[in-house]
Structures are given as C-alpha cells and as structure tokens.
Amino acid sequence: MEIREAGLGDLSGIVELHSRARVAYYGAGGLPTEEILTPELAREQREGWAAAITSARKQVRVAIVDGVLAGVLAMGPPHSSDLDPRTTAQLYQIHVDLGLWGRGVGGALHALFVRHLADEGLALGVLEVWERNTRARAFYTRHGWRPDGTSRPGPARTPYVGMQLTHPLARRLALTLTSARPEPVDLHFRPRGCRFCPDRRGPHCKIAESLQPWPRPGLPC
C-alpha cells in the first residue's frame, strides 16, 4: 500500500469513492439512495474536494493498493471557532473502498492523522460522525476517540456527534513548548518535518521517528 498527497488528478476517483461510502453508511442508517446522491450534492462534493486538495491549510492523502485508489484522508484546522488551531486539528474524513474494508487501509490513514498531531505539536484531535454510522463510531472508539458532548443537526433527524482524541506525546510536547523552562522530552528519535526547528536538534524534536499508530497499532478499518 502506498499513501501519498492527493492531486487534482485524483479528484474523480476520490469523489467516486466518497459517493460509494456515503451510500454505504447513510444507506445502512436508513436513508434512501435518492436522498444521498443528488446532482446538487454531487456538485458540492466535487467542489469541496477540489478546494481541499488545493488548500494551503488542509491536507488530503490517498491510499493506493495495487494501483487503485483505496482510501482517502482529509485533515486540517478545526472548523469550530471555539477551538484553537495552535493546539487542535480536525480529522475531516476517512473513507475506504468497500471492497477493502478490514484490510488496514483506514488504520494506516488514521495513523497519518495521529502522526500529524505529534509532528505539529498539537494536543487534541477532533472529528464529527453521523450518529447512525455505527461502523465508523466503533472504528474511532477502537483508536482511542471519545465523545466530546458536542453535536449538530444531521439527516433523518439524526445528529452528527463530536469525538476527540488526546495524543499523549503531542500533549507533552505542547506543554514543553509553552513552558518558560522547557523540559526535554526523554525519547530518542526525531520526526520528519518538524516546524519548530529546521535542523531538528531542539529538545522538543526528540519524538520517536518510528512512532506507531496510537493507541493500538495495526487495527484494521
């Protein structure tokens, strides 16, 4: 499996994968297909993904299995103005091709988000999930996410519920960086692309290069 940055050349494949995923989880929750796939929603969907791919603030990654687009991850600053982008990132979406469920694609994409928290020194991850999407909620729960008590209206009178993930290494790093007298993090390796010191020699850079997906590595989607 290869995971790389998405480009506009991936746009059609991402939209098609996202559409199939929407039919799967909204359909399982009782919504008819004609309410899930409409021309207006399809147009908004394509425009939204194109904007995310070209955004300077958001990141979109695709997983490729045997030369075929198998999954997609979108992440970036939190949507809510109540959350501080200096300490928090939002996992906007993870979608995996239905034929590859249970193969670890979702877990690998989720690990990239966790890695993003650690590399950027962000203590908190947030996301929203449709309450009836029990498969996704179970996936995030297995990976350490917990309900945060927030919600907003969703289709079929069913809300989108908020979940959050506190990354212990990133939280410790954030506390170190805001301390008047930074206390070195007692680990042995350095992450790629540290934004705090280009030469990667500061005490806050001693986070393991080989960080595994937290809290439990290797969980399949």
- Radius of gyration of the chain from Cα atoms? 18
Does 134 have pLDDT greater than 80? yes
Mean predicted confidence (pLDDT) in 51-59: 97
220 within some domain: no
More confident residue, 9 or 177: 9
219 within some domain: no
Write down the pLDDT at residue 190.
Answer: 31
Mean predicted confidence (pLDDT) in 13-24: 95
SS3 content of the chain, % helix, strand, coil (to 5): 40, 25, 40
Mean predicted confidence (pLDDT) in 63-79: 96
78 within some domain: yes
Mean predicted confidence (pLDDT) in 144-155: 95
Angle, vertex CA 158, rays to CA 134 and CA 32, nearest 5:
80
Write down the pLDDT at residue 169.
Answer: 59
Domain that holds residue 48: 2-205
Q: Are 110 and 212 in contact (CB under 8 A)?
A: no
Does 218 have pLDDT greater than 70? no
195 within some domain: yes
210 within some domain: no
Q: Mean pLDDT score of the chain, rounded to an integer?
A: 81
Does 172 have pLDDT greater than 60? no
Q: What is the CATH number of the domain that holds 110?
A: 3.40.630.30
Q: What is the C-alpha to C-alpha distance for residues 201 and 102, in angstroms, rounded to an integer?
A: 39
The SS3 assignment for 35 reads: helix
Write down the pLDDT at residue 167.
Answer: 75
If one counts every other C-beta atom within 10 angstroms of the C-beta of residue 72, the result is: 26
Instruction: Count the helices and strands in the chain (H runs, E runs).
Output: 6, 7
Q: How many domains does the chain have?
A: 1
Mean predicted confidence (pLDDT) in 66-80: 96
- Give the range among 39-48, 60-69, 145-154, 171-180 with minimum mean pLDDT: 171-180
pLDDT in tens, 86-119: 999 999 999 999 999 988 999 999 999 999 999 9
Does 29 have pLDDT greater than 70? yes
Provide the strand spans (E) within the chain: 2-5, 59-65, 68-76, 88-96, 124-130, 146-152, 160-166
| pTM exceeds cut of 0.95 | no
Write down the pLDDT at residue 170.
Answer: 53
pLDDT in tens, 175-212: 554 443 433 333 323 333 333 333 333 333 333 232 33
Mean predicted confidence (pLDDT) in 29-56: 93
212 within some domain: no
112 within some domain: yes
**The pairing of beta strand 59-65 with beta strand 2-5:** antiparallel
6 within some domain: yes
Closest CA to 114 of 64, 75, 172: 75
The SS3 assignment for 192 reads: coil
DSSP structure class, residue 100: G
